[in-house]
Structure formats: C-alpha cells, structure tokens
Amino acid sequence: MKKKDLLTLFEYSAEEIGGILGLAAKLKDGRGVSEKRVLEGKTGVLIFEKPSLRTRVSFETAIHELGGHVINLPQESVGMGKRESVEDVARNLDRIVHLIVARTFAHDTLTRLSSSCSIPVINALTDLAHPCQALAFGQTLAEVRPGEKLNIVFVGDGNNVCSSIMVICAKLGHRFTQVGPKGYEPRTDLAHKCKEICAASGGGITLTANLDDAVKTADVIYTDVWASMGQEAEAEKRKKDFGAYQVNAALMAKAPADAIVSHCLPAHRGEEIASEVLDSKACVAYIEAENRLHAQKAVIVHLFS
C-alpha cells in the first residue's frame, strides 16, 4: 500500500480536501470529547529549519490530542544536509518514529525526506507551499461563508502562502485573484496548473496589478508579509515596491461592505496590513490561526486512515 503524505494540495482531489475540511469541523466541534486517537502509541517528529509559533504549537497539540508523543528536532540539533544527509535523516527516522512534520527552506528538502522513508511526511511550510495554512483557510471559509463560491483576492507577494491559497481555491471552485506589483506574481507553472484545475471546478485565476479593480468585487481579502523568511535582504526594496498595496481602511472602503479579511500571521502591522483592519470585526485571521489545529488533526487522521 502506497504511503500518504501532504506535500502540496496539488496531490489531493477536491473530494479529499472536502473530506478533510469536513472532518476538521467535526474535530473542532467535538474537541476533547470525540477525538480520533489515531496516534495512540505513536511518535511524531517535528523538524523546523525556520522559526514558528502557530505551526509548532498547533502540531504539538494536534499530535498530543490524537494520542501521540512529540519530539522536537530543531535544525541546529539535526544539521540536516550538513551533519547528515537529508536521506540519512529520513532513513533513520523511518525505523524509529511514525510521522515527520517538516518546515524547511527548500521544498526539495521535503521531497527528499518523503522519498527516503515509508512513513507519512507533512509539509509545515517550504519555499513552494504551505498546504496546512490553505486548509485552515478553507475551514474558516466553510465556517463564515458556508456553501458559497467566493471571490478571493490575495493582496501581496505571490509566495508560498499565496500559491497554496490559489491551489485550494482552484480545487474548490472559488475565483482567485492575486494583486501586486509586476514581477511578484505566483510561479507561472503553478498558476497554469491552477487554471487547468479551474476548467473542471468552475473556479478562476487572475493575476493583476490593479488593486482597486481587484477588491471592488472581493468577498475575501487575504494578505501576507511582503518579505518572507529567507528574503530579509530584500525587505527594504519590497517595502517600496509594495507600498501602495497595504490592506487598510481606505482599501476596505472600496470592497463590498460584507467583505472579510484574513492573514496567515505573523503580521507586520503598518506594512502589509493596518492594525485598524487586523483588529476589526471583518478580520478572521485569528479564527484561521485556531483552525490550523483542527485542519492539521484532520490531515493526520487522513494520513493514518
């Protein structure tokens, strides 16, 4: 039997994604009462090359609540790719533990981990994708705008979060627009794959630099930091390039009155998003942050089913 991973959402069908989101909602409603203890007697390892708050805490809690034990392996302890090859790390863990959750700079590191072991591997963020964030976003939409086909507008860099939001929108038949300065679009190959998915799902993909046009029909406005982890050297240039793309009260006034806002967090208040929006009733970023736990529990149950 072929093992299951979560590397990107491209490998998951709309039905699988819908099943995970439905399970996540049930686990949230029944938290502490109807837990599926699929990790009873099992151990999950967290390997994090990048800093983390929500991802680390939510995965530790998820593994614990599903009956498992957690081992944290920070990069300085493992030296993956330096002290030992990625493949040797995977081969050793494969014989000892039952699950690997990895947050790596390069997506290639994650795929090498996966191809070198027979246990499930979950992407906790790479330079290519953040599928767990996208699933938490999908769960949040199902809570606050259930049953609707929505117009999702991502304001900012076409980064890993943007790309994963684009994929889940394509899979679920939502309309997705990325708006930002030229040169900061999602990768062309990813956008092309999403457009092909939309042909079957009924969704749509648009890439534009016109902010006002993009938000005037938005049901959801999403944003993320302008310089992601590993792009610190570009931070000042990106501040200048994205200066006109802040999500603030003036921008929200151009969107429909019932538009909601989200952010994957951490937020750089006063840069990509103003506090007046992040702290407003329209913002669902903290609901989405909580849903990281429930979506990830559902993913783990799916992988061990």
Q: Which CATH architecture has domain 133-288?
A: 3-Layer(aba) Sandwich (3.40)
pLDDT at 1: 67
9-129+291-303 classified as CATH 3.40.640.10: no
pLDDT band at residue 75 under the 50/70/90 scheme: confident
Q: pTM value?
A: 0.96
pLDDT tops 80 at residue 13? yes
Question: In this predicted structure, what is the pLDDT of residue 230?
Answer: 74
Mean pLDDT of 137-165: 98
Q: Say if residue 4's pLDDT is above 70.
A: yes
Say whether pLDDT at 32 is over 80. Answer: no
Residue 2 has pLDDT above 90, yes or no: no
In the predicted structure, residue 251 carries a pLDDT above the cut 90: yes
Percent of the chain whose pLDDT exceeds 90:
90
The per-residue pLDDT for 135 is: 98
User: Domain ranges in the chain?
Assistant: 9-129+291-303, 133-288
The predicted structure's pLDDT at residue 35: 74
Residue 94's pLDDT band (cuts 50, 70, 90): very high
CA distances from 227 to 3, 62, 156, 207, 240 (A): 35, 29, 10, 19, 11
Residue 178, pLDDT > 70, answer yes
Cα(54)–Cα(155) distance, integer angstroms: 22
Q: How many whole angstroms separate alpha carbon 137 and alpha carbon 9?
A: 13
pLDDT of residue 228: 82
Give the residue numbers marked as catalytic.
103, 130, 133, 224, 264, 292
Phi-psi region of 229 (alpha: psi -120 to 50; beta: other; left: phi over 0): beta
Is the model's pLDDT at 183 over the cut of 90? yes
**pLDDT bucket at 34, cuts 50 / 70 / 90:** low
Same fold yes or no, 9-129+291-303 and 133-288: yes
**What does the alpha-carbon distance between residue 303 and residue 305 come to, in Å, rounded to a whole number?**
6
